[in-house]
Structure 1
Amino acid sequence: MRIFFTVLWLGLIVYSFGFAPPDQPQTLTLIQRLATGDWQGINPLIVSLFNLMGVWPLIYTALLVVDGQEQRFPAWPFAAFSFAVGAFALLPYFILRQPAPIFSGELNRGVRLWESRLTAIAISLLAMGFLGYGLVGGDWQDFWQQWQTSRFIHVMTLDFGLLSLLFPFLLIDDWQRRGIEKSLWRWWSLFPLLGALGYLLLRPPLILSKKSVA
């Protein structure tokens, strides 16, 4: 799998900077407006996509805080940088990580926070709010035009798709850490975004090793 993730990462970089539509002069201004909440006149689909790209790292962190404890390197730098560059930051983690089907790490405050049902509810409400905002008021024709002409919109959409496709690779180990690897209901968690949110809301507690309990 390391070769697959490496090729995917390099392909993403090459495509984004070599084959995606050209950058537009107003891109920096658009990013500033999106980041500061000045959304008037901006297609709600673009507003929704931009903000959901900030929600995805929260979803990933809810798994990485556990998965990372079983790795030889910390997961938090990859999770932190993913808020800015999405899959560009997370793919190196997938390249370096080892399978971690058992949780033998420390059940510290950070893990408890991201394992909390309240945290899952907050992330889900945030995601559903932005998703609804885009779907209700969005202009798909305008979005399609901008996707074809703007590198920022084009790559951000591609990034969103990759984050959706990569998430199941973390789920496989997380299923085993919770003893649901043979449960039929786990498969709906593979559904992009909504499945991930549902999984955070309904996933059972971690099965703790003696080391974790101690």
Structure 2
Amino acid sequence: MLRRLGLWAIWVSFLVYVLGFAPPLPADTLQPLQTLLSGQIPWINPVLISIFSMIGIWILIYSCLVFADGRMQSLPAWAFILASAGSGVLALIPYLALREPNDKFSGSKDGWLALLDSHTTGFILTFSTLVLLGFALFFGDWGGFLHEFQTNKFVHGMSLAFCLFTLLFPYPTLLQDDMGRRGLTHDSQLFRWVAWVPLFGPLLYLCVRPPLLARRS
């Protein structure tokens, strides 16, 4: 109950803050799209491109846990993940709050689950993250990003959403249950790495976790 209340409180607080207290949307928010439609390539700060892309990485990281978890839930996990592609963390938090703790997995893995369960997927996501970080660090305008964060609602909310993806990964029982399905215990050294190392902890977990242990229901 406390877990659910905490998640709903985070969801409501984030929504209220972004809608009511975050910086406004500037008048030229759609300028890059207009420039692209005119046949020119707009300049967008590489930091913004990287953060936006890494939110997609986060959604894929959660997908590698949520789709297997959804097999044992009454909730349509795919619907929440699909919605998160458009709304980010706002669609994911309700799933984390509504799901029931369950560390079992029954039946066989279909092709989609096998892909999400593969170490290759973890390696690809890790490599992609390193490329995006390098792109932001070496080519990004961090002063410009700070200005956008302080004055642009979209950039402000996107950056906070990235932080929420990071903070929530070890908080709900989603991670503990995924480890339980694989014969791992939540008090292991692996859990501490996953829980306390932002972004790269979860990526490491996807690269080294044992395959799903199918059990009869």
TM-score exceeds 0.5:
yes
TM-score normalised by L of structure 2: 0.89
| Contact 1:68 1:74 (8 Å CA) reproduced | yes
Aligned to 2:104: 102
Q: CA deviation at 1:40?
A: 5.2
Change (3 A) 1:167 1:130: same
The match for 2:194 among 172, 189, 195 is: 189
| Contact 1:6 1:92 (8 Å CA) reproduced | yes
Aligned to 2:52: 50
Q: 1:13-28, aligned counterparts within 5 Å? A: 13-28=15-30
Q: CA deviation at 1:202?
A: 0.8
Q: CA deviation at 1:14?
A: 0.6
Aligned to 1:171: 175
Output the CA distance in 2 between the equivalents of 1:105 and 1:28.
47
Identify, as 1 or 2, the structure richer in helix.
Answer: 1
Aligned-partner SS, 1:209: coil
| Contact 2:32 2:42 (8 Å CA) reproduced | no
Unaligned runs of 5+ in 2: none
| Contact 1:53 1:83 (8 Å CA) reproduced | no
Change (3 A) 1:146 1:103: same
Answer yes or no: is 1:205 the counterpart of 2:205: no
| Contact 2:32 2:43 (8 Å CA) reproduced | no
Identity %: 40
| Contact 2:107 2:216 (8 Å CA) reproduced | no
Answer yes or no: is 1:140 the counterpart of 2:142: yes
TM-score normalised by L of structure 1: 0.90
| Contact 1:70 1:105 (8 Å CA) reproduced | no
Change (3 A) 1:31 1:175: farther
Q: CA deviation at 1:183?
A: 2.3
Output the CA distance in 2 between the equivalents of 1:61 and 1:75.
9
Change (3 A) 1:39 1:196: farther
Aligned-partner SS, 1:70: coil
Instruction: Let me know the Cα RMSD of the aligned residues.
Output: 1.9
**Deviations along 1:122-141, whole A, 9 cap, x unmatched?**
22222221121112222222
Q: CA deviation at 1:51?
A: 0.9
Unaligned runs of 5+ in 1: none
Q: CA deviation at 1:28?
A: 2.7
The 10-residue stretch of structure 1 (151-160 or 180-189) with the greater mean CA deviation from structure 2: 180-189
Q: 1:3-152, aligned counterparts within 5 Å? A: 3-30=5-32, 41-152=43-154
| Contact 1:66 1:105 (8 Å CA) reproduced | no
Output the CA distance in 2 between the equivalents of 1:165 and 1:172.
15
